[in-house]
Amino acid sequence: MTPAPPGGPAVPPRRTLLWVLLGVGGLCAVCGAGAVALVGLGVIAGTTDTMGLGGASPSSTGSPGVAGGFALSIPAAFTPVSEGRWRFEKVDGSARHTLDVIRLGAVPGLDDPHRKLTDLWNEAIVRDWPDAPAKVLPLRRFVQNGARAHFTSATLKAPNAQHPSLVSLYLVEADDRLEPFVLLQEYFDDSVGAMMVAKGSFDVTQAAVEELMKGIEGSPVGRPLVDEAELVGSWTSGSGSHAQYVNVITGSTTFSAVAYSVRWRFDGNHAAAYETSSANTNLGSTTFAGQTDEGTWALEHDLLTIDGAKFDRKYFIVGAGVGPGGKRVLFLMPEGHFSLSPGAIGFHGELYEASE
């Protein structure tokens, strides 16, 4: 029934208009190589935000210049599987969640960690996982004592597996070498509906990942997660999607779409400039919006802080380096969502690509 006109009863509509969704357009990040980058990361294992489960906060700075090699202390909740391999297991009803830690041989030198990460990924992962990407998205984090770790992750499916696995390769800076290990997060469940929650299951074992990180130490410590020179430049992040509908009675079509882009410029003198623009199309009518700001930027260990004229922002740095598309990338988590949980990164992470 349609609403009643003033002073009169409700009247039935003359014709029921039925619209059917024809299709939804693809979501893109960084409009180019960024889309490949997110695919390479397996769309970061879903979109379940699990702040507080394996959450990360800015690390302590440690003692600058201290070199102490490498230490790996396996938590008591892990059991040995074979030499250099340990497993954490959690059973939840019919589901079994596992996290395997696999040590690999050391890689000499601290120079060019992104190239070494990519090379080892291809040697150790691509060889055994047919759908593994050859080019990886470079991520970074701190281990327990403030030493840096370079890593990458991808959601992959083994030929004989029912559910995908989250495979991560870490290279921890350790004096004059990089100490690598693989983290394999898997999910086993044959019950009805298991496929719907498979990717989100990786957050279940993320707490065990963070517990493992408490026993890892490298060197040197006290360095920022990224060098200031890596931040200087212009950066762009964008996203867009669209949906098309058809009226099943008249055959007419319409569509809705949304798109936005964010641009940051970080100068060598620590000046910062911000610009965002967006377009929203609803049933063929488009509206535009935008915002600009200027200020200064500063790098504090693993935090990027912006002091703007209109607003202040803080970002937790998740990754930096050369992305799969061959351009520099910067991966940030906005304040209020600082976490290394796979679901949180996928939902709140902002992937930027260098514009130059």
- Do 188 and 315 lie in one domain? The reply is no
For residue 21, the model assigns a pLDDT of 44
- Do 325 and 250 lie in one domain? The reply is yes
Is 259 inside any structural domain?
Answer: yes
- Do 112 and 180 lie in one domain? The reply is yes
- Do 69 and 179 lie in one domain? The reply is yes
Q: What pTM did the predictor assign?
A: 0.72
Domain end marker among 217, 246, 270: 217
Cα dihedral 205, 206, 207, 213 in deg (nearest 10): 120
For residue 18, the model assigns a pLDDT of 46
- Do 276 and 183 lie in one domain? The reply is no
- Do 266 and 179 lie in one domain? The reply is no
Is 16 inside any structural domain?
Answer: no
Q: Across 157-284, where does the E strand assignment appear? A: 165-174, 177-188, 216-217, 233-247, 253-266, 271-282
For residue 343, the model assigns a pLDDT of 58
pLDDT in tens, 287-334: 888 889 999 999 988 899 999 999 999 998 988 888 888 889 998 988
For residue 298, the model assigns a pLDDT of 95
Closest CA to 217 of 163, 302, 128, 149: 149
- Do 185 and 78 lie in one domain? The reply is yes
Domain end marker among 161, 190, 217: 217
- Do 239 and 345 lie in one domain? The reply is yes
- Do 141 and 264 lie in one domain? The reply is no
For residue 200, the model assigns a pLDDT of 64
For residue 356, the model assigns a pLDDT of 67
Is 46 inside any structural domain?
Answer: no
Domain end marker among 167, 198, 217: 217
Question: DSSP secondary structure string, 310-337?
Answer: S-EEEEEEEEEEE-TTSSEEEEEEETT-
For residue 350, the model assigns a pLDDT of 87
- Do 178 and 294 lie in one domain? The reply is no
Is 11 inside any structural domain?
Answer: no
For residue 199, the model assigns a pLDDT of 59
Residues of the chain with pLDDT under 70: 1-68, 190-200, 283-284, 340-347, 356
Question: What are the backbone dihedrals phi and psi of residue 339, each rounded to the nearest 5 degrees, phi first?
Answer: -165, 150
Residue 51, token pair as written in the block: 């702040």
**Domain hosting residue 245, numbered range:** 28-36+226-300+302-354
- Do 289 and 309 lie in one domain? The reply is yes
